[in-house]
Chains A and B, each alone.
Chain A
Amino acid sequence: MNTNELALKAHLLRRAGFGASRSELESISDKSYEEIVEDLVHPERFEEIDEDYLKRYNPELSYHDGHPIHAGRWIWRMINTKRPLEEKMALFWHHVFATAHYKGDHTPSTIGQIEMFRENGLTNIRQILIDLSKDPHMNYWLDNCENHSDQPNENWGRELLELFSMGVGNYSEDDVKQAARAFTGWTFEQPLPLYPYGHYESKFVFNESDHDNSEKTFLGRTGNFNGEDIIDIICEERATALFICRHLYNFFVEDEPQIPAWSIEPPRNPEAVDAMIDILMSNEGELRPVLNYMFNSDFFKNSFYKKVKNPSELVAGTLKLSGRYAVVPAEGENVGTLYNTAAVMGQALMNPPTVEGWHTGHEWIDGGTLNERVNFAVNQFNDVSSPGFEDILGRLGSAVKSVDLVDKCLDLIGPIEVGDETRQALSKYAEEVGDLELSTDEDRAENAKKIARMIQLIVATREYQFA
């Protein structure tokens, strides 16, 4: 196990959040690792982020007309929030319950679902599944608005079982049909048209006259089930706990095989997942206990660099280091551009490719996306006047010896560890630039670019792509 306390805290905040600048790490230096975990799973202990400046300078956030600006706002929240696990759980559930904007093209519902995950993401599996079942964005995405008592539509019932709770092999085709019948009449209020004055919100409606009130038999239980009864039964199943815990492990601990393989590939660490299942089930689906256990476990503490950063993590984490997209937007800074930044890396937030969500791990990386990832990270340190780089420069003191440059820079942007091959390449550059004086404004002006170049080399490494 890596015993370096600072490195361990940085690891925790990369996984449970979106990384941390050195000043953020220093601000929690008086807290133990366990206390930080407690804080993370209780975001309500910290103030909600102040969005006033963001909305003043990106005023289109005041209306719901096009999702990119709102997806960008989400990344901005990832960068600036004091409640990082709140945003991380919203992203987690967005991965699991993948719902894309492109079908409904109704921005209030798209962003409403993310707000819902932000609010309920740390609560209880049952609550989350019920909220999800009543969510207009999901309802339309999986056609439950077309699920009528005299003409059932099975799409929602099927995906609820297959991709959102139990997984393939744990239910029958007839269970799908019965679940669909139980959700008949679960629909949403017709929203007003986009023209002439923009979008208006919708909300869940239970249309009792369109609900199938007859008896159903689902997973061996028989009764006049409604949708909530179906979710109650699902939540009693160990398969559901396995499904959720495997997702948690994949998202927070270590890259797992992708979902289509889960029915044939066992978890990478079955003991860890089993322990998480037991905790989840013994706490009746409450998420905080299992997250608390997971973050404090040895398997988590030993999982350094076992996950490829997803694009949101890479973008938000790098911008935390550079200090851009802060609480008060810089002149001309539009958070909507952050949507495209992550999208070209393969993660168009609020627009996952299918109901299965994004494939993660090494599948984030291909020739095109790697190029985008590296270029983005490098470009953030082109500007030596960025607040983040100035902070790094200030921490290097009045001079830095060539032999220390690599370690100091690796420390200040992580701490992160690199392999021998990478270290050799970085050291070669450090030797080329030699000892650097930083004591006067002239020295700093002359040498800042050289140090920025070292930072750029580090964020371009293979190791930086991993969380």
Chain B
Amino acid sequence: MTLPFELLRSGYPYYMTLGQRRVTSNPVDIGFGKENVYVLTRGGLGTEVRVINWEDENLGTLGGASLFQWPAALLVDEDENLYVTDEANHKVVVMDKDGELIDSWGEQGSESGQLNRPSGMCFDLEGNIVLSDAMNGRIQRFTRDGKPLQVFGESGEGEGQLNMPWGLTVDQFGDVLVADWKNDRIQRFGPDGEFKSAIGSHGTEKGQFRRPSSVAVDGHGDIYVSDWQNDRVQLFNKDERYIQSFHGNASLSRSGKQYILSNLVTLRLRAEGDFEKTQRLNAPMTVKVDDQFRLFITDFGNHRIQIYQKDVVELSETEIAPKMRNPILFTT
């Protein structure tokens, strides 16, 4: 796997919004089937998997309180089975696309293979499951049926140590990038669990985080971080240099538009209000990217999914001037 040498970043225009309150209420994660979109929700307005399609139609729910209590992450495999971490019951629950329970594994503890509040979860390059074992301050790798394969990391603040890790992802080289939540940084580990690098520190400036909850890497090696308490998503390039932030540009989803158009008072209230507020992110919990370079943000506090579409030109080494040692003011 090679990455483009450099990118001409044309822009990152807003693509579309999915969902609305009482449908995709309090979304914490998102997964994709062949035709449907699965939105994991958690909170007072519903704790379940909501199924919608790309036309933003509500197709019902799966799971719920009988299967999980504090769901934190969702994975969808090639057979469209759904894997959900349950922080309250220290388990991974597996159901098919009809919501039937087909497997459940994990037990509370701190021994290898045991879990204490499993949160973020992703597939590795072999299709195994890598997850954040949050209260044990470590990362564990399992087969899909729950056999432990690897454990790395420990609680702490030093390099390679973790404090309540949350979301994580595996990039195209097998590196594991972890949202080291309470340490306000992203840490990169090699496939064998060795510490490689860290991004960020506590704060509100560019490149700083307030409790990052999720991380994703796209096919260009660009790194996306949901900066949960700063209500934004930050983008870093493959060299871990800050590029830009996303604060939210939501338009109305199809279902949202239908709702408003059928309610005269709601129409009036929206006409009277401050429109800019309606676009911004509120506690974005998860960030994901697909192979079409679409960026999906679960806009938790606004009950919707915000989607952006990357627009870049991939450049080879010969298509761009070499890196400069010094900055120049002559920029013509």
By a beta-carbon cutoff of 8 Å, the part of chain A in contact with chain B is 52-53, 56-57, 59-60, 62-63, 65-66, 68-69, 189-198, 200, 331-332, 336
Contacts and interface: CB of A to CB of B under 8 A. Distances in A.
A62 B302 CA distance: 9
A332 B68 CA distance: 10
Nearest to A200: B277
27 contacts: A56-B211, A57-B70, A57-B87, A59-B42, A60-B26, A60-B43, A60-B44, A62-B300, A62-B301, A63-B300, A63-B301, A190-B273, A191-B269, A192-B270, A192-B278, A194-B21, A195-B21, A195-B22, A195-B260, A195-B263, A196-B21, A196-B260, A196-B303, A196-B304, A197-B302, A198-B21, A331-B89
B180 to A, nearest CB: 13
Given A193-B270, A196-B20, A56 B181 contact: yes
Q: Identify the 9 closest CB pairs spanning chains A and B, nearest first.
A: A196-B256, A62-B283, A196-B20, A60-B43, A192-B273, A63-B301, A193-B269, A190-B272, A197-B302
B269 A192 contact: yes
Interface in B115-166: 117, 164, 166
Interface in B255-301: 255-256, 259-260, 263, 265-266, 269-270, 272-274, 277-278, 282-283, 285, 300-301
B252 interface: yes
**Which of B28, B260, B303, B304 has its CB near the most chain A CB atoms (within 10 A)?**
B303
Contacts of B22: 195
A60 B273 CA distance: 24
B255 A196 contact: yes
B309 interface: no
A333 to B, nearest CB: 9
B182 interface: yes
Contacts of B42: 59
B283 A189 contact: no
A200 B89 contact: no
B199 interface: no
B270 A331 contact: no
B253 interface: yes
Contacts of B81: none
Nearest to A60: B43
A69 B21 CA distance: 17
Contacts of B89: 331
B45 interface: yes
Contact of A200 (B45, B211, B273): B273
Given A59-B28, A191-B273, A195-B263, 9 more contacts: A57-B70, A59-B26, A59-B42, A60-B45, A66-B44, A196-B252, A196-B303, A200-B277, A331-B69
A197 B304 contact: yes
B7 interface: no
A344 B269 CA distance: 35
A29 B267 CA distance: 60
Contacts of B21: 65, 194-198
Interface string B42-58: 11110000000000000
A463 to B, nearest CB: 37
A195 B20 contact: yes
B269 A332 contact: no
Given A60-B26, A60-B44, A197 B269 contact: no
Contacts of A195: 20-22, 256, 259-260, 263, 266
B101 interface: no
Contacts of B16: none
B198 interface: no
**Which of A56, A196, A197, A336 has its CB near the most chain B CB atoms (within 10 A)?**
A196
Nearest to A53: B164
Interface in B97-128: 117
A59 B22 CA distance: 16
B181 A189 contact: no
Nearest to A330: B88
Contacts of A66: 44
B150 to A, nearest CB: 25
A198 B265 CA distance: 15
A66 B69 CA distance: 20
Nearest to A192: B273
Given A59-B283, A69-B44, A331 B87 contact: yes
Contacts of B182: 52
Contacts of B250: 197
Contact of B43 (A52, A53, A59): A59
A65 B252 contact: no
A115 to B, nearest CB: 17
B179 to A, nearest CB: 12
A69 B45 CA distance: 12
Contacts of B229: 52
**Which of A53, A191, A192 has its CB near the most chain B CB atoms (within 10 A)?**
A192
A195 B303 CA distance: 10
